[in-house]
Structure 1
Amino acid sequence: MTRTGPLPLVVVPGMLCDPGLWSEVDFPEGHTLRHLDLRKPDIGALADDLLASVSGPFVVVGLSLGAIVAFEALRRSPQRIAGLCVMSTNAGAPRPEQYTAWRAMDALIAEGRFADVVEQTLPGMFPTPRPPSTSAERYRSMAYAVGPDAARAQLAAQATRRDALAALRGARCPAVVLSGTQDALCPPDFHRAVAGALPDAELREVAGAGHLLPWQRPSAVSDALRDLLARVPAAFPAA
């Protein structure tokens, strides 16, 4: 069985991000667009939600934690993923210092200090440690909209992820990997490893951009997605 016509796009944000992250991206017309929330404390459960969000094959667009969820979905059901657009991410297993940092953030939120966690994460989102006040306020508003309960679930989910490079080598789809050259959280080397593992990937390094590429370089994300969709077969085998 094959499915023809525009494939659904499922868009998965990063930690403390909501659909507003993608508001300036020019998604191609004709594709059903789905946004996935990240509110479960396990990468596997989030990957299952991703796979259940649409029927048949689809294209997934993920940033940071959202891309990690996409990697796990690819591990579980490579025949469902017709195209992969990932950015600002890491396919490696967590490092010891990350577990420590996540536990500390979770403890702050449990104490009612969610605002402190938002302020801790804010500098890593931008190319410079002191982003413009309008950018900082925009990030705070998005993070507060996500809220402390979802943030704690996302921290827990981060701790359940595993190395995804072997899963990426089994991909059957075209992919594009975007990396901000000034991304302090996920530097270009992380993305070179992701692109090197995927059998059919294009790596695009976006000069001067930080972690939140859809805000900082929406045209680069739009162009990459458009070019990726041109590489997706018109008829993709259904699951």
Structure 2
Amino acid sequence: MTSSTTSVTTAAGRPLPHAEGAKHSWLEVRGIRLHVAEYGSGAPVLLLHGFPQHWFAWHRVAVQVAADRRLICPDLRGFGWSEQSPRGYDIDGLADDMLALLDVLGLDRVRLVGHDWGAHVGFRLCLRAPERFSGYLALNMAHPWARHRAILPNLWRQWYTAFIEYPVIGRAVLRRWPAFTRFLLRHQVADRALWQADELAEFSAAAQAGAHAGQAMFWQYVVREIPALLRGMGREQRLTVPTVLLGGERDNVIPPSMLAGGGRHADDLTVRIVPGAGHFLPRERPHVVAEAMKELFTTGR
């Protein structure tokens, strides 16, 4: 573990955005340095961000739940202030990073929250190592058993991935066209006026700095996850971790129709749709996320 601080600047000259109560550290995990922001103290909760964000995506939720929780908000490999590597951006690799991070932190069992890509990693974690997680809150992501008849009519919603996933092209788009990232952020919320200018600037700059990681993660999904989905792999897996899945009524990436049908593969899976919300629930409805965390993670559930 390296130094902990609340005010640092990366080698690229990008300062960490300020978030009240956040403490920062860098940990050696599977051969790379992962940046971790933490809030509060108490029962540990691991929170995994989505694309094109990083740890700062959770700061509006943190102010509502950090009083009695230890919130652990890592930057996934290559994102935010975590070190980039040539490879390791597939879902299993990112899940391996998080299991190793828990080992480094000395945590045997935690609560889990994931948004977008972080929620995809979260499902993989719960299926691979259910003994490490006492409850899971998934946000704006389909469960692993989404029905083909729900997926196929919604494939068009993934149009933007064609600009990101291909090697060379995807990195160039993310690195040289920050307006594309800003467009995605605005396009994927229900109220486009919601984002503040500094938030858009921060996350678009982060996408530029982490262009390799962003492109590689999308590409690994294409070459690994889509073929596995088409082959029906994972249909026999069962989710044993108590899970709540929150979706946005106006999510134009993962619409409510893609969230149905998981109950027969899970011991305890609840799906809820948040009225009037889009794809960024931690930003659009932080109070709803906070209340869902408190309810799901109540001792004894």
TM range (shorter): 0.7 to 0.9
1:174 aligns with 2:242: yes
Ranges in structure 1 where 5+ consecutive residues have no aligned partner: 1-5, 234-239
Q: 2:182 aligns with which of 85, 106, 119?
A: 119
Task: Give the TM-score of the pair, scaled to structure 2.
Answer: 0.65
Letter in 1 for 2:283: W
Q: 1:141 to 1:23 in 2, by over 3 A?
A: same
Indicate yes or no: 2:286 matched with 1:218. Answer: yes
Larger radius of gyration: 2
Could you tell me how far apart the structure 1 residues matched to 2:256 and 2:168 are? 28
Q: Show structure 2 runs of 5+ residues with no match.
A: 1-41, 79-87
Alignment partner for residue 86 of structure 1, among 114, 123, 138?
138
Deviations 1:83-117 (A, max 9, x none): 10001113459969666343369615426423133
Which of 80, 100, 107 is the equivalent residue of 2:169? Answer: 107
Alpha-carbon shift at residue 135 of structure 1 (Å): 1.2
- Structure 1 residue 179, shift from structure 2 partner: 0.7
Given candidates 71, 74, 90, the residue that maps to 1:36 is: 74
Which amino acid in structure 2 is aligned with residue 51 of structure 1?
A: L
Residue type matched to 1:19 in 2?
A: W
Q: Secondary structure at the match of 2:247?
A: strand
2:110 alignment partner, one of 47, 58, 64: 58
**Pairs within 5 Å for 1:1-239:** 7-25=43-61, 26-27=64-65, 29-38=67-76, 39=78, 40-54=88-102, 55-91=107-143, 100-103=162-165, 107=169, 109-110=171-172, 112-128=175-191, 131-132=192-193, 135=195, 137-161=197-221, 162=225, 163=229, 166=234, 169-194=237-262, 197-230=265-298, 233=301
CA gap 1:217/1:29 in 2 versus in 1, 3 angstroms: same
Q: Supply the AA of the counterpart residue of 2:65.
A: F
Per-residue deviation, 1:30: 3.4
Alignment RMSD: 3.0
Q: Counterparts of 1:195 and 1:156 in 2: how far apart (Å)?
A: 32
Report if aligned partners of 2:165, 2:218 keep a CA contact under 8 Å in 1. Answer: no
Whole-angstrom distance in 2 between the partners of 1:135 and 1:206: 19
From the superposition, tell whether residues 63 and 194 of structure 1 become closer, same or farther in structure 2 (CA, over 3 Å).
Answer: farther
Q: Which amino acid aligns with 2:267?
A: P
TM-score normalized with structure 1 length: 0.80
Residue 31 (structure 2) aligns with: none
Number of paired residues? 225
Aligned counterparts of 1:196 and 1:116: Cα–Cα separation in 2: 42
- What's the % identity of the aligned pairs? 24
Query: Is the contact made by 2:179 and 2:204 (CA closer than 8 Å) also made in structure 1?
Result: no
In structure 2, the CA distance between the partners of 1:221 and 1:106, relative to structure 1 (3 Å rule), is farther
The structure showing larger relative contact order (alpha-carbon pairs under 8 Å, at least 6 residues apart) is 1
Kindly indicate whether the alpha-carbon contact (under 8 Å) linking 1:78 and 1:170 is maintained by their aligned counterparts in 2.
no
Name whichever of 104-113 and 196-205 sits farther off.
104-113
